[in-house]
Structure 1
């Protein structure tokens, strides 16, 4: 069979097995074993465990379970809720301040946790009930938390970006710095939409009150004294200091990503123990259980995805696909659009981890040939994968919100997230015209990248 035929059958078999309901990690491993047994020497089957181990034997990947531990420590304690309440107390007088508080809470928590589901769960459990109690519509409340949660895979320390750095063989520090500007851009766009949406809901509530006397909590004016605002800060500031310290250690070159992740995890455990009294084995059990479960799931997916890519490379599928894309001679930005469209389609079915590790061998060579900045592309790709977290059929954050607010229908949540998908598209377009949003900060701190 030709390489093209093998490649097509490889893709078809992958889709069939994934749609059978088999977990992603096992589906990728099964496809790899099937094609290894058919097209590769029989002796290669003896090296499966060695190949998976070698693919995962990266010091950068060691940071993933440690960042997850830090996120679980904060997410499973009251730190996430206190962070949200502090922001709400300080921003409540701004039109749409409650929505903006949720956006900032998601951004700060994402920067601490590095996980999108953890951000959605921690902030959503407090933010959605509070927004609905104050008259915000359920779809808007769900949408802004789901979209804010996607910042977990963009703002450092992002687990997804760690994997991209490994797959693309790029500097993790430079990639983390490149994500800060686009992350702030998304925060600004989300906050601006929250203000616009609040004004619309406020006008509708006011019109209903004037028409038939129907009152809505959104018309009420919360009032926090300055003493109440400062009262909550002592619980929040230590975690903000932790975030700042971790970033200084990482970007200042004082510690490697793995050392930073380990230090951040230990300090997070120390803070929740000293501030919230979470230190007993029964208190720590949910944190450790969540860390082990999520780390095991991610590392299995990573190992099998890398094994899957190894088989693709051995059978020359990825090389042939990359050559085929190059030979199309597409204009530079038509090539980018085609690749991003492929990522969007894959996002209908696959999580970001699998998309990166499965597509990197195919898409990176043509992008390098077209002289794209791979660091810049990594940020763009991450934003596009963020869309996959809040649109069906997979939409992981949609289902996280569904668990946090079970009385909301799936259609309400989906309609609430669609405006944010559009805002992410706007952010991608802006970054295509102004790439310095991503490249300026790493260039300032680390110098221009050689060969850009």
Structure 2
């Protein structure tokens, strides 16, 4: 069987096994072992354990559990509620300001937690009932939080960007910088749509039930500013040459955990243990997928599937932007069914040679890929954020949440279009801070 036909067979088998209900990591290992055994002989299976553990033998990988602990520590406190309340107090007299406050809180909380579900839950628990109370449409209330939560995988520090950096052997520091301007741009697009949707519904002048004094606006800031300073400190440590990515992540995790204990009085050993337990579970899940994807990539390479697909696409001689549209469609469909980490690890070995041949910047593409993965978080059938919103606001039907999220998907498509027109939106800041990439 020729490699391209074999690749199609691998794709069908992978989809079938993943849809059977097994975990992504186990499914990838099953497919890898099956095809290596059938098409490369039993001796090829001897390499699987070595490949499995070799893909975890990297000091950089330590940054993943550290950043996850950092996010879990913040998510276990009232930081999300305080962020929402602080922004709400400052923007209470702005027309449609409450929904803008929620989106701003989502962006800031995303930067601290790096988790889309945690952002949806933390901000949505207070934000959605408050918006409903003030007369905002359910579509705007639920859709804005669902979309705002997706910013966690784009705005640094982002675990998804770390995984991409490891899989493609690109600079994680440069990837973080590449996500800042697009992250701000996407937040502003979300805000613009939310204000327009509020105005269109006739609720543009919905205001708070009370006026906050300057003293009331300032008194909540001490609870929020320390966490924001940690984010600034983490980024400064990384780009100021003070520490490596892994060392910075460890310091950030320790500081966030310490401030959660000091500021929010999380003294209980049970609460601290809960943070560490949940962080360990999520870290193991991501690392298991990474190791299994390494075995899967080894299988694809050993059977010459990866090389043949790359050669076939390169031989099509289509316009590079037509090629990018096809890649985006592929990523979009994959994101509908698989978590971002799995999509990155499974597709990176195939896509990177193609992107290099087409002369696309890998850091720019990382942002494009991430926004595609964001779309997957608010679209069925998986649409994790949709179900998180439904669980914290059960009176809002899932259909309403889906319709409320749809315009924000349009904002994401617009962001991808703008990034294609102006690649400098992603590459300018990394080039200024770290110099042009080679």
Quickly name the TM-score band, shorter chain normalised: over 0.9
Q: Which residue of 2 aligns with 1:215?
A: none
Q: Which residue of 1 aligns with 2:141?
A: 141
TM-score by length of 1: 0.94
Q: Which residue of 2 aligns with 1:362?
A: 350
Cα RMSD (Å): 1.5
Q: Which residue of 1 aligns with 2:181?
A: 181
Q: Which residue of 2 aligns with 1:210?
A: none
- Summarize the alignment of residues 394-413 of structure 1 with structure 2, pairs less than 5 Å apart: 394-413=382-401
Task: Report the CA distance between 1:286 and its aligned residue.
Answer: 2.2
Q: Which residue of 1 aligns with 2:27?
A: 27
Task: Report the CA distance between 1:73 and its aligned residue.
Answer: 0.5
Task: Indicate conservation of the 8 Å contact 2:95/2:207, yes or no.
Answer: no
- Summarize the alignment of residues 99-118 of structure 1 with structure 2, pairs less than 5 Å apart: 99-118=99-118
Q: Which residue of 2 aligns with 1:5?
A: 5
Q: Which residue of 2 aligns with 1:228?
A: 216
State the Cα deviation string for residues 146-200 of structure 1 (Å, max 9, x = none).
1111111101111111111111211111111111110110011011112112212
Task: Indicate conservation of the 8 Å contact 1:128/1:405, yes or no.
Answer: yes
Q: Which residue of 2 aligns with 1:424?
A: 412
State the Cα deviation string for residues 35-91 of structure 1 (Å, max 9, x = none).
122122322323322211101222222111111101111101111111111111111
Q: Which residue of 1 aligns with 2:320?
A: 332
Task: Indicate conservation of the 8 Å contact 1:81/1:122, yes or no.
Answer: yes
Q: Which runs of 5+ in 2 are unaligned?
A: none
Question: Using the alignment, how far apart are the partners of 1:50 and 1:247 within structure 2?
Answer: 35
Aligned length: 438
1:281 to 269, 287, 291: 269
Task: Indicate conservation of the 8 Å contact 1:202/1:219, yes or no.
Answer: no
Q: Which residue of 2 aligns with 1:159?
A: 159
* 2:120 is equivalent to residue 132 of structure 1: no
Q: Which residue of 2 aligns with 1:390?
A: 378
State the Cα deviation string for residues 213-245 of structure 1 (Å, max 9, x = none).
xxxxx4665421111111111111111111111
State the Cα deviation string for residues 282-308 of structure 1 (Å, max 9, x = none).
221321221122112111112112221
Q: Which runs of 5+ in 1 are unaligned?
A: 207-217
Q: Which residue of 2 aligns with 1:295?
A: 283
* 2:227 is equivalent to residue 239 of structure 1: yes
Task: Report the CA distance between 1:5 and its aligned residue.
Answer: 2.4
State the Cα deviation string for residues 378-417 of structure 1 (Å, max 9, x = none).
1111111111111111111112212221222111111011
**SS state at 2:241 partner:** coil
Question: Using the alignment, how far apart are the partners of 1:66 and 1:203 within structure 2?
Answer: 43
Moved over 6 A (4+): none
Question: Using the alignment, how far apart are the partners of 1:328 and 1:153 within structure 2?
Answer: 33
2:295 to 307, 323, 339: 307
2:332 to 344, 358, 377: 344
Task: Indicate conservation of the 8 Å contact 1:387/1:424, yes or no.
Answer: yes
Deviates more, 1:427-436 or 1:281-290: 281-290
TM-score by length of 2: 0.97
Question: Using the alignment, how far apart are the partners of 1:77 and 1:52 within structure 2?
Answer: 36
Task: Report the CA distance between 1:257 and its aligned residue.
Answer: 1.1
Question: Using the alignment, how far apart are the partners of 1:446 and 1:219 within structure 2?
Answer: 44
